[in-house]
Amino acid sequence: MAEVDRSARPADAITSAYFRTRRPLNDEDRGAILERLYALLRHRARLGWWLARLGRPDTHRNRLLAWMALAEGQTPDLVRRLFSAAAPLTEPEHKLVGELQGAAIDHPDMPEEVRLECPPWAVGPLRQRFGAAFADEMSATLAPPPLDLRVNPFKATRASVLRGLKDLGIRAEVTKLAPQGIRVAERLSLARLPGLKTGEIEIQDEGSQLVAHLVDARPGEQLVDFCAGAGGKTLALAAQMMNKGHIVACDVNETRLKRCAERLRRAGLHNAETRLLTSETDRWIKRHKGGFDRVLVDAPCTGTGTWRRNPDARWRAPELGVQALVALQQRILASAARLVKPGGRLVYATCSMLSEENEDQVAAFLAAHPAFSVVPLQAVTPIVTGSAHRDYLSLTPARHGTDGFFAAVLRREVAAEAGPTA
């Protein structure tokens, strides 16, 4: 827990490194450790509130003791025995467990944002975004996410993967919207999924799959995944193209691009290359102006849509601040738009639920770049229904059972642009 708090790395990366150095742990032990860690992360504000109420310091150890008393119903004597071998309880710690015995983790005196685990920096924007639905939406971010898989159509079919999962005794079903998605209906060790090693499947939330679906990549086309990261959507796009055409996965982070290249090789996809950019205005962009049929901009964002999957992320305020991050998104979108050929498609996406990063960002871009126009969601894909916005893909955990995602599909007109250069 201490390492998660002090490190800039996400919790899943930290836990993976932790388990690599502790091979003797079996799947049951690993599962128990992960379950308790993520429970502490999902209840951080409430545990801190209780400790403040009792005048105790908000330390990692006190948080754990509070969780054991409030949520697990452990008695002071039982907790003392559990801690006796490695790190015996002090008398103040024993007293803390006793003071919390019989109490519930939610308390009537808690402010709503504490009960809903909403960090101070996000309360205002999210209340403005959701209005009366704020509590329901925030509650949904506290639930553990499902395990969604995306089938690689270059190597398998959804039907064959489902049969394979059934043969392994794993309960699964097709996703409601994503055409290559499968939702696993139980918690399991990823070691039970051999398709991950062969490249037949990838772990990818249904919402993320739908963002890639909106790009509508076709065999033989030229594409750019402008903020590719480790390549989750790049893989989906390359598979849509059935290994034909060409896709360039760009990013400013070399480590993430190396991971992207490794995943492409494992998936058997050879129609993609990685391109390290120095910034959003790298010279490569100017040299390839107007050269691509489709460009995906999965912009860096606050990540509010991923809180149920990454509960540690909600307590890491955006390093740049929201307004500076919005300005960066604006620069990235304007620069990437230069790559789109006349008649081509530009898809702007985030894993955020803040209007400033989504609808407002698209509105500002369209005002400055009249050569682009919105392609309404239903004109792009009739299979996606129930979006929170009429023209754009807008998904939330409460309404759709996915991570929070936003995507706008824009088209560059064939006529010459009048106004600012895109």
**Residues with a known catalytic role:** 351
H or E, element range at 14: helix 11-20
Q: Which residues pair with 90 in a beta bridge?
A: none
Residue with token string 């996000």 = 122
Residue 309 has which token pair?
């999957």
Q: Is the CB of residue 413 less than 8 Å from the CB of residue 342?
A: yes
Return the amino acid letter for 281: T
Identify the three-state secondary structure at position 22.
coil
Residue with token string 């685990």 = 117
Q: Is the CB of residue 302 less than 8 Å from the CB of residue 391?
A: no
Which of 322, 311, 319 has its CA nearest to residue 45?
Answer: 311
Structure-derived torsion over alpha carbons of residues 333, 334, 338, 343, reported in degrees to the nearest 10? 70
Report the C-alpha gap between 41 and 315 in whole angstroms. 9
Residue 111 has which token pair?
């402010």
Alpha helical stretches, state H, 190-346: 195-198, 206-215, 232-240, 254-266, 283-287, 322-337
From residue 377, how far is each of 8, 313, 320, 363 by CA, in Å? 36, 29, 31, 16
Residue 233 has which token pair?
């959507």
